[in-house]
Structures are given as C-alpha cells and as structure tokens.
Amino acid sequence: MRLATAANEAYAASLAVSEVLGCNQCGGGRGRVEELGIRVPRPLGHGPSRFIPEKEILQVGSEDAQMHTLFADSFAALGRLDNITLVMVFHPQYLESFLKTQHYLLQMDGPLPLHYRHYIGIMAAARHRCSYLVNLHVNDFLHVGGDPKWLNGLENAPQKLQNLGELNKVLAHRPWLITKEHIEGLLKAEEHSWSLAELVHAVVLLTHYHSLASFTFGCGISPEIHCDGGHTFRPPSVSNYCICDITNGNHGVDEMQVNSAGNISTSDSFFEVEALMEKMKQLQECRDEEEASQEEMASRFEIEKRESMFVFSSDDDEVTPARDVSRHFEDTSYGYKDFSRHGMHVPTFRVQDYCWEDHGYSLVNRLYPDVGQLIDEKFHIAYNLTYNTMAMHKDVDTSMLRRAIWNYIHCMFGIRYDDYDYGEINQLLDRSFKVYIKTVVCTPEKVTKRMYDSFWRQFKHSEKVHVNLLLIEARMQAELLYALRAITRYMT
C-alpha cells in the first residue's frame, strides 16, 4: 500500500501547502515566514464554492476509496485538484466520466496541438467571461509551450484560430444560427483552413468549455488560490479578530443569514417539495385519461419556448471579471438573444430528425475516434443519474423531473421532442427554478447567490449540483447538435 500512495502523497502535499497558506498562518509559523519578507498569499474565498458552505462539501481526506482513486487520477492528469472537481465529487460516477473525457480532449491523441486545445478552451470560457477557467487554462497554455503573445487577444493568435472566433460566438449564444456556411468558411480558408477532424475537435472543446463555464457560475466555483482573484497578500487584520475564523468556519455571519432566511421560509419550502411530488404523481396518473389534442401539444411547446424568453432575473449585478478576459474575444455586445424575438424565423429543431444517439455520435466518432463514445457515456450518466431521493424523501422516481429539466433546456434552444408534452414543464418547474436554469444556461455570468438560494430551498446542495450537471450536459448536447448538423449538411 505504501507504494500505491505515491500520487496521493503528492496531492496531499499540495493540499498541505494550501493549508499552510490558509489557516495555519494564524499560528506560530506565520511570523517566521513573514519576517523573511515573503509575501504569503491567503485564499480569499472559503471553500471551493461561494454558494455551498464549505462544511457541506466533502473534505479531502474523508473520501471513500472510489473518490480517493478519482482524486488521485485527477491529480495525476492535471497536476492539481481544482475546485470544480471538489464540487463535482458530490456525484463521483459522473465525475469519473467527466474527468476521463476532459483528459482525453486535452491531453490524449487528437488532431489539434496541445496549446491550441487550451487556447480554444480559453476562447470558449472567455465568451462567458469565466475568469476562473480562463486563468486555469492560461497557466496550462503557457505550460505546454503556448506563445504568451496570443494571450494579449485573439487578434494576436494565428489567423486559423481567429477564424474560429465567429463559430465560438454563435455557438455560445445563438447556436441555432449556425449554418453550413459557417462550416464552409472555416474549412475553405486556404492556408488557414481547418480540417474536418480538427474542426470536430474544436467544436467539442468549445461546447465543453461553454457548458463548463455554466457549471462554474452555476455552482459559484471560487477561484483557485494560485490564480488571480483567488488570494490576497493583505496581511490578516491586526486586531485579535482573525479573518480566517469567519471565512473558514462558515458558522459566522453566513450561517446566520441562511438561518434567518431559512426560518421564515421553512414551512413554505417544505410545501414546495410536497407540492412538486404531488404534481409528479398526478401527471403520472392522469397522463392516460387526459389526452391533449395535437394542436395543443404543438402550442404548448411554442408557449414554453416563448415563455422561456421572458424568464429573466431582474437583478443586474454585473460580475466584473478579475482578469481582463474580454480581450480573448471580440464583439462583446453579442450575447444570448431569443430566437423568436428576432424578426427571422428559425424552424424548430426536431430531435427525431437529428439526434445525438443516431447521428451526432456517428459523426463525431468518425472524425475524432473514441470521443463520441466518451461523450455518449457522459450524456448517459448525466441523464440517468439518480439516487431516487428528493430533498427528505426517499424512493422517488425522479425520471419525470429530470426529463422536464433536460427538455426545458433543449426547448430554450429551440430543440423539440415530438413525444414530449411540454405542459409538464410548467407543472414541474416553478418560476424561480426556471430563472436559475435560464440564467445558468444562457448568461451564466449573471448567476448570483440569491438565485442559487432561491430555488428548491429544501433541496440538498448535492441535488442542486446534480441539477447543474443536467444543465451543462443538456446545454452541451444542444450546442453539439446544432454544430454537428451544420457539419453534416456541409458534407452532404
């Protein structure tokens, strides 16, 4: 066993380092270091997520064997244990698949050179102003030998990558506008042109990082300590009062706020869960008797699609990115725009005509072998993941709820399932939940802790993370479907 722990030791050591830099400095050791004139960075946030109290999140060291292996793998692959991993480990089954896919995309055989991959990741994350991912990948990019000049902005990168900017933009915000002309433009740009395999690799990377940006904001991932915004050199306050007490403890101010808020709404939110369960039961039972007419079914989709446009939170506190990420993309004004509001009519995307399982998979696997399989597995795990629990209830069949969430997201992108009654969505997802979903998927940079707290108040944090997994996978699939359909159209 001593032998097997080599990798683990290393990551434990890295944690020890962060501990030293964290709270231990309050102890005796601190003085010595500071006397030497070394500026000791301290973490700004508390725990891997700003939304989830640290004590809710699994403490490293207390994980079981499976998670332990996952952590070790993750550390071996990336050389770090990032906050995303620490939050995702709520669902180890998914995390495993996620890490495997990400590792393959970034480090294994593929048509794109390594620094291109990270740069594309940066481009994609920058689209959503996700400084967390941008910072991580800037480091990786430099590490694999990328040219630091490229980081000054997309216009300093090779023409080939600049060409990808347009696709990145459309894919991130309005994927339904992707046409085969976009694809053609990339593939036929003479010496700057992309090959089909490269393009598929790039598209998978783009969609992966768009949705990962959603996750980062949706779960309020804190910056890593070594990145901008993750640490401060401000010495701890001089009074006896130590910041670490508050930030690490989580039993201070935060907790009180939660409690006070919780107290008021406990009864409220208790009914929330009950009501939701009741509705699910009803839907299950009365599905057979109440038969909606065809027109109604069609209009329900349209209504849902339209309504999804209007769910937008009113609070507009802009999160200013710590690092100037905007220089990695152009046209900052281009954002999510609802398709129906814009004059042009975009036909509804029918899943029965182009779906991931039949079409998308085959195309990806043909052009970028093995990745189709990995992504397919990831989609499946995310879609089928369940513990049969809802808040405090056990043995609940949540498939209906999960399907409603999944289809709601696809609905926002104009993707329609013929065999789904979109009325169910209205029954199962309440407004605050829809606001959260919509924000995370379409404009993740606007997610606030209030939104996170205000939906599904009785549910556990792990369940909220679960929702986030559904959101990001559904989003990734939606983007992939549009991009791959365009590629297919180009090829035929």
Query: If DSSP codes are grouped into helix, strand and coil, which group holds residue 400?
Result: helix
For 463, other C-beta atoms within 10 Å of its C-beta total 17
Q: Which stretch binds another protein (CB under 8 A): 108-116, 155-163, 236-244, 265-273?
A: 108-116
Q: Contacting another protein (CB under 8 A), which of 159, 195, 266, 352?
A: 352
Q: How far is the CB of 72 from another protein (least distance, A)?
A: 9
Between 6 and 264, CB nearer to another protein: 6
Q: Contacting another protein (CB under 8 A), which of 295, 316, 317, 318?
A: 295
Say how far apart CA 396 and CA 137 lie, in whole Å.
Answer: 40
Query: If DSSP codes are grouped into helix, strand and coil, which group holds residue 57?
Result: coil
Nearest to 374 by CA among 98, 158, 3: 98
318 binds another protein (CB under 8 A): no
35 binds another protein (CB under 8 A): no
24 binds another protein (CB under 8 A): no
Query: If DSSP codes are grouped into helix, strand and coil, which group holds residue 324?
Result: coil
13 binds another protein (CB under 8 A): no
The dihedrals phi and psi of 203, each to the nearest 5 degrees, come to -65, -45
278 binds another protein (CB under 8 A): no
Catalytic residue among 23, 130, 227, 442: 130
19 binds another protein (CB under 8 A): no
Residues in the chain, total: 492
256 binds another protein (CB under 8 A): no
252 binds another protein (CB under 8 A): no
Quickly list H helices, 241-370.
243-249, 253-286, 294-310, 361-367
399 binds another protein (CB under 8 A): no
Between 6 and 256, CB nearer to another protein: 6
Structure-block tokens of residue 185:
């433009």
Say how far apart CA 40 and CA 311 lie, in whole Å.
Answer: 45
79 binds another protein (CB under 8 A): no
Residue type present at position 37:
G
Quickly list H helices, 311-417.
361-367, 371-384, 399-412
Between 75 and 141, CB nearer to another protein: 75
Nearest to 54 by CA among 22, 86, 26, 95: 86
Q: How far is the CB of 3 from another protein (least distance, A)?
A: 4
Nearest to 481 by CA among 385, 429, 406: 406
370 binds another protein (CB under 8 A): no
Restricting to residues 460-489, which ones interact with another protein according to CB under 8 A? Answer: 488
Nearest to 435 by CA among 462, 417, 453: 453
Between 334 and 417, CB nearer to another protein: 417
Active site annotation includes 130: yes
Between 77 and 244, CB nearer to another protein: 77
Restricting to residues 405-444, which ones interact with another protein according to CB under 8 A? Answer: 417-419
Whether the Cβ atoms of residue 381 and residue 97 lie closer than 8 Å to each other:
yes
144 binds another protein (CB under 8 A): no
4 binds another protein (CB under 8 A): yes
Q: Which stretch binds another protein (CB under 8 A): 47-55, 105-113, 265-273, 436-444?
A: 105-113
Between 110 and 165, CB nearer to another protein: 110
Q: Contacting another protein (CB under 8 A), which of 297, 303, 309, 322?
A: 297
Whether the Cβ atoms of residue 385 and residue 94 lie closer than 8 Å to each other:
yes
289 binds another protein (CB under 8 A): no
Q: Which stretch binds another protein (CB under 8 A): 28-36, 49-57, 271-279, 345-353?
A: 345-353
Whether the Cβ atoms of residue 57 and residue 86 lie closer than 8 Å to each other:
yes
Restricting to residues 59-78, which ones interact with another protein according to CB under 8 A? Answer: 73, 76
For 191, other C-beta atoms within 10 Å of its C-beta total 6
The dihedrals phi and psi of 393, each to the nearest 5 degrees, come to -90, 145
Give the count of alpha carbons within 13 A of 430, CB side only.
14
Rg of the chain's alpha carbons, rounded to an integer? 23
Q: Active-site positions? A: 130
**Binding residues for another protein (CB under 8 A):** 1, 3-4, 6-7, 73, 76, 108-109, 113, 287, 291, 294-295, 297-298, 350, 352-353, 357-359, 361-363, 366, 376, 417-419, 488, 491-492
